[in-house]
Amino acid sequence: MSSSSLRLGVIGTGHVARRAHLPAWTTLPDAELVALCDTDPEALDAAQRCIPQRSLPAFDNARDLLAADMDAVSVCTPNMAHFPIVLAALEAGKHVLCEKPLCVTADEVKALGAAADKRGLILMVRHPLRFGTSAREAIESMRAGAAGEVRHVRVRALRRDRIPTLPGLIDRTLAGGGVALDLGVHALDMALWLMDFPRVTAVTGTVQTRYGRDPDFVGRWGGWDRARFTVEDTASGHVRFDNGVTLSIECAWAGDFDPAEEGLSCTVSGDRGTVHWAAGESPEPSQPDFAAFLAAIRTGGPSPVSWREALPSIAILEGLYRSAQNGREVALY
């Protein structure tokens, strides 16, 4: 390992860490994975088996890991743990790559942003779909004026029969929300990025649990604890921006819609035409987002996906949940 490699730790060694973060940090030539952390010993053991030829120091407490010698951390915990762990990492002087969503409230996003900016640290939210070929083609089309003046955007994050089985996604005390925070945030981030982040003014939303507690519904990914299913599996919303643009969003982990509609997508419609982006099935993880994080640390930034860019999507989803609870439109900003 090169002496110039950046030293990294991973906090949270569940599915997303083992599927994406550990493969990246163990194969990128300018990264050195030096420590792991998880409260679950079995998750730590599974993570150690993903690392070739050596065993890493392992901790069951994030603050103990953050006291070790390293430059940056990946945060891969359930959503509700993101805010305290990312804040502690920034206060410890570490750069942070955090799995989406960065937080579950706009105020938390702002607090983390202030902490990162105060210390001159890179805080990046992991939105890997921005780094795909279809995303690059879509943003180039938008910048070339293919849509013209944007009028309306349609966002979809739809699955027909794939209820997550992990407690960290279906238990509100861990996840903070359901399909809107899990899938919707991906496609919503893409839409906002393509629009260059106009200012949000109002959100209307609905959420429902149609399948997650249905004893007769069978998901493609196997069984889950229905007693712990306390989040929505279906959500929809309408967003207004200060420039007159509107956005509609549909999210589902399960539903009786046309199979051709399944996947993540957004369509930007303007006075000249439309720009369409689609990921289809969630793609296999790749390394460009991780490499971009390392490059930002080395160059002093900017963050490839900054907290300021994450703020509008979290504000919209927070507003969607509040609207669903209160039964009326929620004004933002």
Is 293 a member of any domain? no
CA distance 14 to 42: 9
Neighbouring-strand partners of residue 205: 237
Same domain, yes or no: 235 and 323: yes
Name the average pLDDT for the chain.
95
* pLDDT digits 0-9 by tens, 158-170: 999 999 999 999 9
Same domain, yes or no: 60 and 102: yes
113 within 8 A of 87, measured Cβ to Cβ: no
Last residue of a domain, one of 74, 99, 127: 127
118 within 8 A of 232, measured Cβ to Cβ: no
DSSP string spanning 306-326? -HHHHHHHHHHHHHHHHHHHH
pLDDT of residue 286: 64
Is 234 a member of any domain? yes
* 242 CB burial (10 A radius; 0-12, 13-18, 19+): exposed
Please state, in angstroms and as integers, the Cα–Cα distance from residue 151 to each residue in 96, 240, 270, 273, following that order.
36, 11, 5, 10
Cβ of 304: how many Cβ atoms within 10 Å? Answer: 22
Is 103 a member of any domain? yes
* pLDDT digits 0-9 by tens, 110-157: 999 999 999 999 999 999 999 999 999 999 999 999 999 999 999 999
Which DSSP helix (H) or strand (E) runs through 269?
Answer: strand 263-270
Neighbouring-strand partners of residue 275: 268
Same domain, yes or no: 42 and 20: yes
123 within 8 A of 95, measured Cβ to Cβ: yes
| pLDDT-based confidence at residue 333 (cuts at 50, 70, 90) | confident
CA atoms within 13 A on the CB side of 269: 9
Last residue of a domain, one of 109, 127, 145: 127
Tell me whether the omega of the peptide bond preceding residue 101 falls within 30 degrees of 0, making it cis: yes
CA angle 92-96-100, nearest 5°? 135
Domain that holds residue 100: 6-127
* pLDDT digits 0-9 by tens, 70-105: 999 999 999 999 999 999 999 999 999 999 999 999
Decide: pTM greater than 0.85: yes
